[in-house]
Amino acid sequence: MFTEEGRKAYPEIAAAEDAVKEAEDSLRAAMAARFPKGRRVLVTHYHGSYYGEVRRTYDCRVFVENERTGRVTGRYPLIDTDGVVSVQLVD
């Protein structure tokens, strides 16, 4: 994002930005590995739960297709709902 002049003028900021990019890449890789496309999951939220299939991941969200309705919604697996993680691997 920074120009070479900017990286030279503010190396500590450039290094911090590089670390952020590396962390984002690591997060994306971990999410894709843990929630591969087609994996069956149980989604729990405050109004109930449903089974679905992972369609894709993006940053810290898993996009799940509800197997009953066909609707795809983004879910956050690190959020818990009443003590249960919101996206659980099934099978």
Residues 52 and 17 in one domain: no
What are 77's two structure tokens? Answer: 């697996």
At residue 1 the predicted structure's pLDDT band, cuts being 50, 70 and 90, is: low
SS3 content of the chain, % helix, strand, coil (to 5): 35, 35, 30
Task: State yes or no: pLDDT of 81 exceeds 80.
Answer: no
Same-domain check for residues 25 and 45: no
Reported as a single tens digit per residue, the pLDDT across 12-69 is 999 999 999 999 999 999 999 999 999 999 999 888 999 999 999 998 999 999 999 9
Q: Compute CA 53 distance to the chain's CA centroid, rounded to the nearest angstrom.
A: 15
Indicate if the alpha-carbon torsion angle 21, 22, 27, 30 is positive or negative.
positive
Is the confidence at residue 2, as pLDDT, over 80?
A: no
Count of domains in the chain? 2
Write out the residue range of the structural domain in which residue 74 sits. 40-89
- Rounded Cα distance between 34 and 36, Å, is 6
